[in-house]
Structure 1
Amino acid sequence: MKLLGSLTSPYVRKTRIVLAEKKIDYDFELQSPWSEDSVVPNFNPLGKVPVLILDDGTALFDSRVIVEYLDNVTPNNKLMPGPNRERTEVKRWEALADGLLDAAVAARLESQRPAAEQSPAFILRQREKIMRSLAFMARELGDQPHCMGIPMSLADIAAGTALGYLRFRFPDIEWSQAHPNLARLYDKLSQRPSFQDTALREE
């Protein structure tokens, strides 16, 4: 299988972390959806990464769809429980983390527009979403070693990816000081090879 994506996309990183944790071999092709010659729209009409192209040519897109597929490809290192309340809670963590990312990406894109065209109110609204999401994550995590308790799950991968993106693009948001338990979780996850090998960086 082949993964299309960039080195700056947190959604691509989440997918790559799952691939690493599941020990699934794949080819990684750098593709920026912003490039005029990008092939991404040929596989995803939304023009977004990541895109996972299966061996039979089927293209999967949206990181949440991809990682759920990947977790079912092999039985090892299951990252999601079976269909039950606990699975719903894992998916809720993922939805929250991805929502935080959506707000962060939207704020960053708005801030890159010409100054006269920017909407400070829009940026503020996105940053407020980020701060509320961080506070909610911290409350939900509490004193647990991982989002769902003892085992690491997709909830941790999603949360760790979101926190890593804030470190990468929003160093002014001092979430680690405001929420020490999130900082402990992030530091623990950052020691895993899957997180180290997929660290976000400029291309």
Structure 2
Amino acid sequence: MPLVLRSSPLSPFGRKVKLALDHLGLADRVIVETADTMDAGDILREQNPLGKIPALVLDDGSVVYDSRVIVEYLDMEAGGNKIIPAEPRARIAVLTLQALADGVLDALILQRYEAMFRPEDRREPRWLDHQGGKVARAMARLEAEPPTLDIHVGTLALACALGYQDIRFDGAWRADHPRLVAWLDGFIGLMPAAWQRTSPA
């Protein structure tokens, strides 16, 4: 029985899982189903009480969430030490990079929600600045020292964070981050077909 990934085409966290599936050779074991986080009638809220995506429904009906847990599950299914190193120091470094990139995405999504759900005259500039500061500081840190071109959960998350900014924020990040632009080009070159397949554009 195949596993079921509940996600949406535009979800950067879902994209991270899809890229991991492709890299690990597990994509043929998973059916991707679109979930609507805003629909109270979507079964997603039963699968994940938080109503968030992605969620991975296993063959016994149990559900794994969020993306960080899902990619760890997939790494174990693939035999381990594939996208999450077993060596403790390397593991912590990779997971920390994933946390940084996921944090960028969290801040970007909160900025987007502010624009989506509040009329312009009711948006909170301090809140937007607060989230924007997280993104700016993280991007500056990553620009100063881009990661190596290896495929693991940290670089998968970073690629998805940069790709999301291209899709939702018109690629404005590119002007001030030439080293990250070059890094993303190099990373996409490692898995061009998977990147194209998972692109919502």
State which of 12, 15, 18 in structure 2 corresponds to 1:13.
Answer: 15
Distance in 2 (CA, whole Å) between partners of 1:13 and 1:36 is 23
Could you tell me whether the CA contact under 8 Å between 2:6 and 2:55 is conserved in 1? yes
Q: Give the AA of the match of 2:194.
A: S
| Counterpart pick for 2:83 among 65, 79, 83 | 79
Shift of 1:30: 0.7
* Greater percentage in helix: 2
TM-score by length of 2: 0.91
1:108 aligns with 2:112: yes
Paired amino acid for 1:176: R
Pair 1:31-2:35 in alignment: yes
Q: CA deviation at 1:83?
A: 4.3
* Identical positions, percent: 35
Is 1:53 the counterpart of 2:57 in the alignment? yes
**Aligned-pair distance for 1:86?**
0.8
In 2, Cα distance between equivalents of 1:166 and 1:197: 18
Runs of 4+ aligned residues of structure 1 deviating over 3 Å after TM superposition are none
Which residue number in structure 2 is paired with residue 198 of structure 1?
198
Name the SS of the counterpart of 1:197 in structure 2. helix
- Within 5 A, what are the aligned runs for 1:137-152? 137-141=142-146, 147=147, 149=148, 151-152=150-151
Deviation of 1:88 (Å):
0.2
Task: Please state whether the residue corresponding to 1:78 is helix, strand or coil.
Answer: coil
In 2: Cα distance, 1:150 partner to 1:171 partner: 24
Q: Where does residue 186 of structure 2 map in the other structure?
A: 188
What runs of 5+ residues in structure 1 fail to find an aligned partner?
142-146
SS of residue paired to 1:106: helix
Aligned-residue offset at 1:152: 2.4
- With the length of structure 1 as denominator, give the TM-score of the two structures: 0.90
8 Å Cα contact 1:6/1:31 also seen in 2: yes
Q: After superposition, what is the alpha-carbon deviation per residue over 1:160-191, rounded to whole angstroms, capped at 9, x for unaligned? A: 00000011111263x22322121112112334
Tell me by how many angstroms 1:196 deviates: 1.2
Residue 16 of structure 1 aligns to which amino acid in structure 2?
K
Q: Which runs of 5+ in 2 are unaligned?
A: none
Q: Is the 8 A contact 1:6 1:12 kept in 2?
A: yes
> CA offsets, 1:35-78, max 9 Å, x none?
23211101100000000001111100110000011011013881
Indicate the RMSD between aligned Cα atoms, in angstroms.
1.6
Contact 2:80 2:86 survives alignment (8 Å): no
**Secondary structure, in 3 states, of the residue corresponding to 1:4?**
strand
